Structure 1
Amino acid sequence: MTVVGIDAHKNWHTLVAVDDVGKRLAVLTVEARAVGHRQILTWLEQFDGVAVAVEDCRHLTRRLEADLLNAGHQVVRVHTRLMAGMRRSGREPGKSDPIDAEAVARVALREDGLPTAELPGASREIKLLTDHRRTLVARRTAMQSKVRWFLHEIDPDLHIPARALRRYQLLDDLQERIACRDGVVAEIARDLLDDIRSLTRRINDIERRLATLVRAGHPSLLEVPGLGVLGAAMIVGETAGARRFRSRHAFARFNGTAPIPVWSGNTVRVRLSRGGNRTINTALHMAAVTQLRLGGQGAAYYAKLITTGKTRTEALRLLRRRISDRVFAAMSTDELVTKTTPPATAAATATPRAGAVDLGRAA
Structure 2
Amino acid sequence: MTSEVGTDTAAQTVFGVVDSHADTLHVAVISDNGGHLADTEFTTTAAGYAAALAFLDAHGHVSAIGVEGTSSYGAGFTRAARSHGHPVVEVNRPDRAERRRIGKSDPIDAYAAARAALSGRASSVPKDDTVVGIRALHNAARSAVKARTAAANQITHILFAAPDSIRAKYGRLRGTDRIDALARLRPTGDAVHVAVLAALKILARRVKELTAEHTALTKALDSKVTVHNPGLRAAYGVGPDTAAQLLITAGGNPERMRTEAAFAALCGAPPVPASSGKTNRHRLSRGGDRAANAALYRIALVRMAGDSRTREYVARQTAAGRTKKEIIRLLKRAIAREMFRCLTTMVAVPAIADLRPLRQSKNITLTAAARHFGAWPATVSTLERGMRRDDDLAHAYRDWLQAA
TM-score over 0.5 for the alignment? Answer: yes
Match of 2:234 among 223, 244, 248: 223
Q: Give me the whole-angstrom Cα distance separating, in 1, the residues matched to 2:103 and 2:129.
A: 35
Q: Provide the residue aligned with 2:198 in structure 1.
A: 187
The two structures, once aligned, show a CA RMSD in angstroms of 3.2
Match of 2:219 among 195, 202, 208: 208
Q: Provide the residue aligned with 1:117 in structure 2.
A: 126
Partners of 2:231 and 2:348 within 8 A in 1: no
Change (3 A) 1:138 1:109: same
Partners of 1:301 and 1:319 within 8 A in 2: no
SS for the counterpart of 2:18 is strand
SS for the counterpart of 1:156 is helix
Q: Give me the whole-angstrom Cα distance separating, in 2, the residues matched to 1:86 and 1:156.
A: 58
Q: Give me the whole-angstrom Cα distance separating, in 2, the residues matched to 1:26 and 1:335.
A: 48
Partners of 1:83 and 1:104 within 8 A in 2: no
Bigger shift: residues 20-29 or 155-164:
155-164
Residue by residue, what CA displacement relative to the aligned partner does 1:89-109 show, whole Å, maximum 9, x if unpaired? xxxx66543333222222111
Residue by residue, what CA displacement relative to the aligned partner does 1:96-135 show, whole Å, maximum 9, x if unpaired? 43333222222111116722224422x2322232222222
Residue by residue, what CA displacement relative to the aligned partner does 1:227-269 show, whole Å, maximum 9, x if unpaired? 2122212222233253222222222222222121245579754
Residues 1-363 of structure 1 aligned to structure 2 (within 5 Å): 1-46=13-58, 47-56=60-69, 58-81=71-94, 95-111=104-120, 114-121=123-130, 123-148=131-156, 149-150=158-159, 153-154=165-166, 156-158=168-170, 162-164=174-176, 174-176=182-184, 178-179=185-186, 181-182=188-189, 183-241=194-252, 242-262=254-274, 264=276, 269-334=281-346
Partners of 2:92 and 2:122 within 8 A in 1: no
Residue by residue, what CA displacement relative to the aligned partner does 1:63-93 show, whole Å, maximum 9, x if unpaired? 22222222222211111246965997xxxx6
Partners of 1:261 and 1:271 within 8 A in 2: yes
Q: Give me the whole-angstrom Cα distance separating, in 1, the residues matched to 2:77 and 2:209.
A: 36
- Higher-Rg member (1/2): 2
CA shift, 1:188, in A, is 1.9
TM-score, normalised with respect to structure 2: 0.71
Opposite residue 79 of structure 2, the aligned amino acid is A
SS for the counterpart of 2:79 is helix
Partners of 2:231 and 2:347 within 8 A in 1: no
Residue by residue, what CA displacement relative to the aligned partner does 1:302-346 show, whole Å, maximum 9, x if unpaired? 112112221233222211221121111111124999xxxxxxxxx
Q: Give me the whole-angstrom Cα distance separating, in 1, the residues matched to 2:106 and 2:92.
A: 16
Q: Give me the whole-angstrom Cα distance separating, in 2, the residues matched to 1:302 and 1:38.
A: 57
Q: Give me the whole-angstrom Cα distance separating, in 2, the residues matched to 1:112 and 1:9.
A: 22
Q: Provide the residue aligned with 2:354 in structure 1.
A: none
Residue by residue, what CA displacement relative to the aligned partner does 1:193-238 show, whole Å, maximum 9, x if unpaired? 2212221121111111111111101211123211212221222223
TM-score, normalised with respect to structure 1: 0.78
Partners of 1:52 and 1:75 within 8 A in 2: yes
Bigger shift: residues 235-244 or 203-212:
235-244
CA shift, 1:55, in A, is 2.5
Q: Give me the whole-angstrom Cα distance separating, in 2, the residues matched to 1:336 and 1:120.
A: 24
Partners of 1:115 and 1:244 within 8 A in 2: yes
Q: Give me the whole-angstrom Cα distance separating, in 1, the residues matched to 2:325 and 2:220.
A: 35
Long gaps (5+) in structure 1: 338-363
SS for the counterpart of 1:144 is helix
Q: Give me the whole-angstrom Cα distance separating, in 1, the residues matched to 2:123 and 2:95.
A: 11
Partners of 1:257 and 1:320 within 8 A in 2: yes
Q: Give me the whole-angstrom Cα distance separating, in 2, the residues matched to 1:158 and 1:225.
A: 39
Pick 1 or 2: higher relative contact order, CA cutoff 8 A, min separation 6. 1
CA shift, 1:17, in A, is 2.1
CA shift, 1:50, in A, is 3.7
* Paired-residue identity, %: 28
Opposite residue 224 of structure 1, the aligned amino acid is A
Opposite residue 71 of structure 1, the aligned amino acid is H
Q: Give me the whole-angstrom Cα distance separating, in 2, the residues matched to 1:190 and 1:262.
A: 52
Opposite residue 185 of structure 1, the aligned amino acid is V
Q: Give me the whole-angstrom Cα distance separating, in 2, the residues matched to 1:143 and 1:265.
A: 51
Q: Provide the residue aligned with 2:8 in structure 1.
A: none
CA shift, 1:191, in A, is 1.5
Q: Provide the residue aligned with 1:343 in structure 2.
A: none
Q: Give me the whole-angstrom Cα distance separating, in 2, the residues matched to 1:25 and 1:274.
A: 39
Change (3 A) 1:294 1:266: closer
